[in-house]
Amino acid sequence: MIEICHLTKDYGNHRGVFDMSFQIHKGEILGILGPNGSGKTTIIRHLMGFIKPDQGTVQIQGKDCFQEAAFIQQNVGYLPGEIAFMDDMTGMNFIHLIAKLKGIHDLSYAHWLINFLELNAQGQIKRMSKGMKQKIGLVIALMHDPAILILDEPTSGLDPLMQMKFIELMKKAKQQGKTVFMSSHIFEEIENVCDRVVIIKEGQVVTIEDMEQLKHHRYKHYEIQFHSLLEMEKFMYQHPDAKRHQQTVSLLVKGSPDQLIKELSSYTIDDFNVQPQSLEEIFLQYYGE
């Protein structure tokens, strides 16, 4: 469906994308994960035909993304990473304008989305908060019910409730067999939605993994606060790799926490916390091995 083949775009100073290749299959939700400046948006700009590759090819449905950008747009919904609407109009007017430009006559799905996202788009865009604008962006990306969605950091600016709603929308899109490509720098966002994930750093692919596989191999930090010092020392003795900060013990565990929880049931515990691994730690994991 979407094919990126030996894509290189060099912005100098090691910025850009270098010899990157991966594919997105039909009906799949693929996430691209990387820190800021790793090249996520550069890839999306290529897919949208805003820029052309120095080397390599970028194709959607077998068509070159730069040469045939206008044609490709008929089947693509796009959410830009940076929100830049025409700010001299109301949100609703802007939605209507883009709908007309996209040739949408039936706005019922757009209205459904507006309701679903609890969006009040009547006000002037320049007075809107980041979250409101993000919702308008989502409505515009989804309203013509395209077969392919390209979303650049779709949940940025949304509150947790809206993030849940976004996940719901993506699950629905998956049921309808849509192909989704989304970027993020937050693992959890990708984890809940995507089938596969491409992890990139400094413009190069670090790994491409199935989400199931990745979850399986994923480490988490467990922070345990013991009631008594004695018990803590006993636990520390059994887990020499655990780290201790005052009353709290921090332990890194791979995969399921089942065993740990069963073991802890014999202790008295004041507090228990789970911290997901940061993106940096995930990268270290791949570079380390």
Partner 1 sequence: MSGVLYRKELRTNFPLIFLFLMIITMYATIIISMYDPNMNSSLQVLAKSMPEIFAAFGMMNVSSSLIDFITNYLYGFLLIIFPFLLNVILCYRLMGKYIDHGSMAYLLSTPIGRRKIVMTQYLVLLTAMLIVVMYTFILIILLSFLMVSEESLDIIHFLYVNIGLLALQYFLGSLCYLSALIFNEARLSIGIGAGINILFIMIWMLSQVGDQLEILHYLTPLSLFDPQLLSTGDGQSWLYIFVLLLCSGIVIVLGQRIFQKRDLPL
Give helix 91-102 / helix 130-142 axis angle, nearest 10°: 20
**Hey, which residues between 103 and 132 contact partner 1 (CB under 8 A)?**
103
Which CB sits closer to partner 1, 102 or 185? 102
Give the residue with the Cβ less far from partner 1, 16 or 31.
Answer: 16
Could you give the string, one character per residue 12-51, with x where binding to partner 1 holds by CB under 8 A and - elsewhere? ---------------------------------x--xxxx
Footprint of partner 1 on 64-93 (CB under 8 A): 69-71, 73-74, 76-78, 80, 82, 84-86, 88-89
Contact call for residue 100 and partner 1 (CB under 8 A): yes
User: Residue 93, SS3?
Assistant: helix
Q: Is 200 helix (H, G, I), strand (E, B) or coil?
A: strand
C-alpha 262/C-alpha 249 separation (Å) is 17
Distance CA 167, CA 278 (A): 21
Of 132-151, binders to partner 1 (CB under 8 A) are 140
Site for partner 1 in 219-278 (CB under 8 A): none
Tokens 């201790």 belong to which residue? Answer: 244
Query: Do the beta carbons of residue 116 and residue 146 sit within 8 Å?
Result: no
Burial zone of 270 (CB within 10 Å; 0-12 exposed, 13-18 middle, 19+ buried)? exposed
Closer residue to partner 1, CB minimum distance, 66 or 219? 66
Residues that bind partner 1 (CB under 8 A): 45, 48-52, 69-71, 73-74, 76-78, 80, 82, 84-86, 88-89, 97-98, 100-103, 140
